[in-house]
Amino acid sequence: MSASALAIDRPSPEVCPAFLAWSIAIGSGLVLIGAGLVSSMPLPVFGWAAAFLLFAVASDVRFRRIPNWLTLPALLAALLASPWFGATSGPVEAAAGAALALLLLVGPYALGGIGAGDVKALMVLGAWLGPEAVLGVTAWALIAGGALGLIALVWRGEIVAYARRWGRAFSKMSSSQRIGDEPAAAGSTSAGGIPFAVAIAVGLAAQWYGGSPW
C-alpha cells in the first residue's frame, strides 16, 4: 500500500472568529493604553475608553455590529460620569461632545459607509472626552477607515471591480443627474463593510499620540 493511500486527510486549520475578534480587540486595547500612557490624559479617562472600545471592536470584528446594550448604557454613563472622571468640565460639555460626534458622522451614516452602532460608539467617546478631542478622533478615524477599506479591497483583489462600479455610477449620474449606484456583489468587501470600531480605536490612539491631524 502506498504512502499516499495511508495518508489521512486532515481539514485545513481555520481561525476561530471569536479568537480573531478578541485578538484584534485586545491588541487595540493595548495600543490605546500605550497611547494613553504617553499622553496627558488622566488614567481613568483612557482606561475607561480602552475598556469600552475593547468590547466594541470585538463585537464589530466578529458580527459587524456594535449592539445597543453596549453603546446606550455606556453613553448614559459617560454623560453622567464624565464631568467627574472623564475629560470634560461638566454635563454641558459632555453633551456637546456627544452631539458633535453625531453631527460629524451623520453624513457617512446617511451614505451607508458606517452603521448606527459606529455613530453611537463615537458619541460615547464624545461624551467622555469632550468636543475638542472627539473632533480629532473623528478625523483620524475617517482616515483610518478609508485606509482599512482600501487595504481590504486590495487584499481581496476587488479594487478594480470597485473602481469600475463607481465609475459606472458617476457615468450614470452625469447623464441623468442622479446617482445610479449598483448593488455590491454579495460577500464582497463593499457589501460586508469594514469594522469601523477598529478605525475609531486607531483614531483615538492617534489623537492621544500626536494630537489632531491639523
Q: Confirm whether 3 is domain-assigned.
A: no
5, part of any domain: no
Per residue in 160-200, pLDDT tens?
A: 777 777 677 667 666 655 555 566 665 555 556 789 999 99
| 121-149 core/surface letters (b: 16 or more CB in 10 A; e: else) | bbbbbbbbbbbebbbbbbbbbbebbeebb
Q: What pLDDT is recorded for position 85?
A: 82
Q: Evaluate whether residue 8 is within a structural domain.
A: no
Is residue 52 included in any domain, yes or no? Answer: yes
How many other C-beta atoms can be found within 10 angstroms of the C-beta atom of residue 61?
A: 21
Q: Mark the ranges of the chain whose per-residue pLDDT is less than 70.
A: 1-15, 166, 169-170, 172-192
What ranges in the chain are assigned the alpha helix state H?
3-6, 17-37, 43-63, 68-85, 91-110, 116-129, 131-155, 159-176, 189-192, 196-210
Q: Percentage of residues in the chain with pLDDT exceeding 90?
A: 43
The range of the structural domain enclosing residue 160 comes to 17-210
Number of domains into which the chain is organized: 1
- Region of 185 please: left (phi>0), alpha (psi -120 to 50) or beta: beta
Query: In this structure, is residue 1 part of a structural domain?
Result: no
Amino acid letter for position 196: F
Convert the pLDDT of each residue in 130-149 to its tens digit: 999 999 999 999 999 989 88
Residue 60 lies in a domain: yes
Residue with cell 449598483: 182
Residue 135 lies in a domain: yes
Residue 4 counted as domain residue? no
CB 198, CB 124: distance < 8 Å: no
